[in-house]
Structure 1
Amino acid sequence: MAKKKVKRKELLKEPDEFLTFSARAFNWLHANRNKLLTAGVIIGALIVLYLAGWGYWRYTNKKAQQTYNQAYSILLKSLNPEASPEEWKKAEQGFKRVFEDYGLSKVASLALPEAAMAVYLQGRYDEAIKLYQEFLQDMVEEYQYQSLTKLAIATCFEAKGDAASAKAILQEVLQGPKGPFRAFAHLSLARLYSSTSERDKAKESLEKFIEDLPDSPFIPMAKAMLQRLSR
């Protein structure tokens, strides 16, 4: 998708005096570049440049948050069983605009998994996986985000019929630090093994779950699944 540029006329429509100052600051620096020779003036110029950059950063955050909120509202409505594919597409376009047009904003990274969800709903699983993987790279040190995102990737692989890749991703979650999403990985892995007629591996996964997370609220569900598989 081609990146849509924000036109100068659209920027100036915003009632943001700081942004207007930023533009004037850059223009002044360019017009007086030959005069900025002394150390003191150079430092002053750098401060102006910093303020100008901060003004643009503030602007992109404001616009990005507005765009993100609009797309998120559309996505929530699109989760209704009666939602149309057009609504999923609108949500996708909104989130993609956040990280394509406002990549320096705070919410740019958070828009990636939301866009992936909208793409997933449209059945474009490979593209959804790619977006989730981009988000993983941004959240290298946030293991809970990592775990949740890997669960989403496993779901995409399962949806496209690639059970082997889904199982491999779930194993990665289980080999990582313990967290609130570990139980879902255990249960999902057991369900996948069961769906591919690997009953022994499904039972083994459930037994490991019960041993690994004895205080999990999902233990009754795991025991019920184990009982059903043991018949």
Structure 2
Amino acid sequence: MNIKYNKAKQNLKDDPIMDSLLSTKEFFVKNGNQLLGAVVVIVVLIAGVLVFNNVRKSGESKASESFGKAMIYYTENQLDKAAEQFKLTAENYSSSQPGALSAFLLGRILFDQGKYDDAIVWYGNAAKGARSIEFVGGQALEGIAACYEAKGDTKSAVENLEKALKDDRIKFRHSTIKWKIALLDGKSEKSRSYLNEIVSDTTAIDLHQRAENLLASMDTGS
């Protein structure tokens, strides 16, 4: 069975795009915390595989090749070259899945560089063009919220998190988004409601204590 698995993996590595995705997985296992957050790792690995599968069916070979080239730079941590290639892919193939994912990853690179206004633009492009890609649209809205938070615009951050909360494709992120809204929004009734929902959610055990602590701080006025 191991022989069959290794042969199948080698067949994938013979394809330059799939090879890039496999290299990405190996790279992020070692460097995920340094370069990207865990959420983005999920996006890259899952959405990247979806892109790979679907572009083959739809014949978007040029978009796929452009995206694959950007991913190679990305996995090699050549972020300036990756950003340039992601931008080309997003601009030239804006209606494609590789284009939407490229816009998302470009937004992340720009965010890490502190270029929040530029990141908002590209995250916005990803959100508009990601209807056919699971996870990306909603998480692009989270990215926009993070940019506004970094700029000190809490109101806009919360507004974008609320939009992300309406995206059922990222339902697995909803408890975390509710926690973030409550943290930013303060002592509003909506925040209290979200925190109570988190405490009652058996799938959000890792957030229970933090939600309870925040509720307690609201009650004590601290």
**TM-score using structure 2 length:** 0.60
Query: What SS class does the counterpart of residue 172 from structure 2 fall into?
Result: coil
The answer on whether the counterparts of 2:97 and 2:133 sit within 8 Å (CA) in structure 1 is no
- Counterparts of 2:130 and 2:95 in 1: how far apart (Å)? 16
Please give the per-residue CA displacement for 1:151-196, whole angstroms capped at 9, x wherever unaligned: 11111111111111111111223344371110121111011123xx
Query: What SS class does the counterpart of residue 123 from structure 1 fall into?
Result: coil
Counting only pairs closer than 5 Å after superposition, residues 46-195 of structure 1 correspond to structure 2 as: 58=61, 60-61=62-63, 63-74=65-76, 77=77, 88-100=79-91, 107-140=98-131, 144-177=135-168, 179-194=171-186
Query: What SS class does the counterpart of residue 171 from structure 2 fall into?
Result: coil
Larger radius of gyration: 1
Q: Which residue is 1:224 aligned to?
A: 213
- Distance verdict in 2 for CA 1:57–1:186, change over 3 Å: closer
Gaps of 5+ in 1: 1-55, 78-86
Deviation at 1:141, TM superposition (A): 5.2
Amino acid paired to 2:74: Y
Q: Which has the higher helix share?
A: 2
Query: What SS class does the counterpart of residue 179 from structure 1 fall into?
Result: helix
4+ aligned runs moved over 6 Å, structure 1 = none
Q: Which residue is 1:37 aligned to?
A: none
Root-mean-square deviation (CA, aligned residues, Å) is 2.9
Which of 207, 213, 221 is equivalent to 2:196? 207
- Counterparts of 2:82 and 2:66 in 1: how far apart (Å)? 14
Amino acid paired to 1:190: A
- Counterparts of 1:132 and 1:182 in 2: how far apart (Å)? 19
- Counterparts of 2:97 and 2:197 in 1: how far apart (Å)? 39
Gaps of 5+ in 2: 1-58
Identity fraction in percent: 21
- Counterparts of 1:144 and 1:57 in 2: how far apart (Å)? 21
Please give the per-residue CA displacement for 1:100-143, whole angstroms capped at 9, x wherever unaligned: 45668752221111101111122221211111111111123556
- Counterparts of 1:99 and 1:219 in 2: how far apart (Å)? 39
**TM-score using structure 1 length:** 0.58
- Distance verdict in 2 for CA 1:209–1:174, change over 3 Å: farther
The answer on whether the counterparts of 1:99 and 1:112 sit within 8 Å (CA) in structure 2 is yes
The answer on whether the counterparts of 2:67 and 2:85 sit within 8 Å (CA) in structure 1 is no
